[in-house]
Structure 1
Amino acid sequence: MVRHVLGKTMLSVGTLAIGLCLVAASASATVKPGDTIAPSNAAEVRELVSPGVYYAVTHGMRMEITAPDRIDWPPPYREATEKYSQQVRLTNDHRSMVGYIAGQAFPLIDPNDPYVATKIMWNNVFRPISTDDYDLRFYDCQSEYVRPGQDQKIIDDIEIGHYAGYNIVGRTEVEPMPIDPDFKQSGRLWAFALYPVLAPQEARGTGLIRYRYSDPNRGDDSWDWTPGTRRVRRLSEAILSTATGAQSYDPDHYAGFNPKTEQYNYRFLGEREMLASVHAEHSPENTCPYDGGATACPEAWEMRHLYIVEATPRRDLSDASGALDKSTDVYIDTELCFEPYVDTYDQKGRLWRTHIYWLAFRDRPVPDARVAIYPFKREFVVGAASIDTQGNFATMCYLPGQHTPERECWYINMGAIDKDFCTVKSMVAAAP
């Protein structure tokens, strides 16, 4: 078993090191830096990726294998972990947690802990990629059938003005820190906004607002705005786990695995050395020319140490009973605490959908950024694909967009948006 390299930073009350989870590549790996993986030699990575990613490779996606490199947490996030993590614990029912303020909730992960899976998933909720606010501006997605060896044939070309969120709890870089006073009144953990859809024309003006609450028994509040009826509609939890229209995306997978944590049961499936794309070389991402544009490729993939957690909807809860999936396997990078891919299985246990994320570790989202520049490197999602493996249909999103008027695209922890941005009123006002 590969050993974790623990961070040198010490907890404020003692000398116990926190786990920053840098792991060397497995010596037994069948691939090496410099290799190119294509359908012809896909078998070489079958045990090094999820079944969903293997589907993508066998259907045309290419990988350029590179040497693994370290990913450090943003210093403010690391400092918050040192300051607050010792007071965090799971509740008596082992589903929720108490004592959380900011940083990583459970930096010391013990695979033998009977509740290790739940702790890993809470770490995924409060992860270092963005802690305060984020605004992804003018990104685009393209939906198409997976067509190995054929040219791209776009079914739907989608452009969205803002993908944005405001965290109320766990803030580390922008005042108010570490918890917005709004929490005492609203009980919200975060607010999310996606609006307005700018293309295609028939969806122009559509938007989504979503609120997540700390109360484990309270489901998310969500609303959408439909320009055709010019009405705000309240959404059920079940809709958020269902892909709609021409897309294979659903709101529960906009940023990895994102349903309400307490609505699922979790089982730890283990930890393995696997391939992931966390030092992507392109921004905007390349449309893969070998699978009909279903993914981004060629792109850099490297050996990483991943936790694997199975998530199963709690059918005893009305808010989760409408979930169409039987289970989801979440693959979480132990160092960046983000999932490079997620596989979902249908009620018969067959692979149904895979969500693949390409990330870049740098001090700016694009090389020529002038505003979104940080004093340290941080992780950016630069591409995301959602593939219906049974219908051979994909939606590939480019972050930043390939044709965006806003070159910098990602603004993370810069105070780019506030709570008022994540309201129904603002969503309706922004509709063209």
Structure 2
Amino acid sequence: MQLGPVIEPFDMPRLQYFWSLDRDPERKRDAWYYNPQFNRLFRMQGDLHWLSYLNQEDIDMDSFGGYAGRVEWANWKYLGQRTVLAPFELSEWTDWLWRKDSEAFFPKVLWEPRRVAVVEGRSVSHHRLYSRRVIYLDLETYRVVYSELYDQKGELWKLLFNTYYFSSDPFPADSCKDDWEFPYLAAETVVDTQRRGATWCAMGFVPVVSGSDPWSVNKGEGAWTSGSSDALFSIEAGR
């Protein structure tokens, strides 16, 4: 998975993060980040990448997109189903406007009721950033609506909201096109309840390299086979 280039805040310009999971559960996750100030690609040590520079912000790699870690990193429990209210769907690309009022960290979309399955994951290691997380999974699309993140004392720390854009052809001028509508992750908002602040992330609205697809999608046999994670590509995107 790739995250970046980071556009703002000012102290993180054009940084990029890459990480991958091995099929072997005993093997630690590989993670790197590209720093354009040094024009170098750095490798992070083992599974300590969640303590990286990015962790100074509200988002972390394990929670990106709802949950990006391994299943075995937590003991999971099904808590049932319920209906929640969330800023889930970006109806049109022209709606891509951020609010101008005190809730400016949410995209300007209508909040709607979504039927979800609720799953709780308790970390098996005290070295993880969060002691437990509660994930709300949309029953129609199987995408994470939002999640609750708790600190080591068991107190609520962060709330993560996801907003999706449903399309088979998100950018008509681009080469990306599917035969069915796909829920593209368009925005992510993280609310820190302890520091009383919020961070928003916008994905896919600015192509980082001329002629490239703004989102990563499954292109089947047409996908790259070698060089898709080439450091040269990341350096070009970071300039």
Counterparts of residues 2-401 of structure 1 (less than 5 Å) = 192-197=1-6, 202-235=11-44, 236-240=46-50, 244=54, 247-283=57-93, 285-297=96-108, 299-315=109-125, 321-365=126-170, 369=173, 371-401=175-205
Q: Residue 286 and residue 334 in structure 1: after superposition, are their counterparts in 2 closer, same or farther (change >3 A)?
A: same
- Asked if structure 2 preserves the Cα contact closer than 8 Å seen for 1:400 and 1:407, the reply is no
The one of 227, 233, 236 aligned to 1:420 = 227
Amino acid in the other structure paired with 1:381 = L
Amino acid in the other structure paired with 2:105 = A
**What is the SS of the residue equivalent to 1:240?**
helix
Structure with greater strand percent: 2
Q: Residue 231 and residue 373 in structure 1: after superposition, are their counterparts in 2 closer, same or farther (change >3 A)?
A: closer
Task: Output the aligned Cα RMSD.
Answer: 3.1
Shift of 1:336: 1.0
- Asked if structure 2 preserves the Cα contact closer than 8 Å seen for 1:364 and 1:374, the reply is yes
Segments of 5+ residues of structure 1 without an aligned counterpart are 1-191, 316-320
Q: Residue 427 and residue 293 in structure 1: after superposition, are their counterparts in 2 closer, same or farther (change >3 A)?
A: same
Amino acid in the other structure paired with 2:84 = M
**What is the SS of the residue equivalent to 1:340?**
strand
- Asked if structure 1 preserves the Cα contact closer than 8 Å seen for 2:204 and 2:215, the reply is yes
Amino acid in the other structure paired with 2:18 = I
Between the aligned partners of 1:301 and 1:211, the Cα distance in structure 2 is 33
Q: Radius of gyration: which is bigger?
A: 1
Amino acid in the other structure paired with 2:228 = F
- Asked if structure 2 preserves the Cα contact closer than 8 Å seen for 1:243 and 1:249, the reply is no
- Asked if structure 2 preserves the Cα contact closer than 8 Å seen for 1:274 and 1:303, the reply is yes
Between the aligned partners of 2:127 and 2:230, the Cα distance in structure 1 is 26
Q: Out of 198-207 and 278-287, give the one that drifted further.
A: 198-207
Segments of 5+ residues of structure 2 without an aligned counterpart are none
Q: Residue 416 and residue 350 in structure 1: after superposition, are their counterparts in 2 closer, same or farther (change >3 A)?
A: same
Q: Residue 203 and residue 382 in structure 1: after superposition, are their counterparts in 2 closer, same or farther (change >3 A)?
A: closer
Q: Residue 206 and residue 381 in structure 1: after superposition, are their counterparts in 2 closer, same or farther (change >3 A)?
A: closer
Q: Residue 371 and residue 244 in structure 1: after superposition, are their counterparts in 2 closer, same or farther (change >3 A)?
A: closer
Amino acid in the other structure paired with 2:99 = C
Q: Residue 400 and residue 224 in structure 1: after superposition, are their counterparts in 2 closer, same or farther (change >3 A)?
A: closer
Between the aligned partners of 2:8 and 2:114, the Cα distance in structure 1 is 37
Shift of 1:360: 2.8
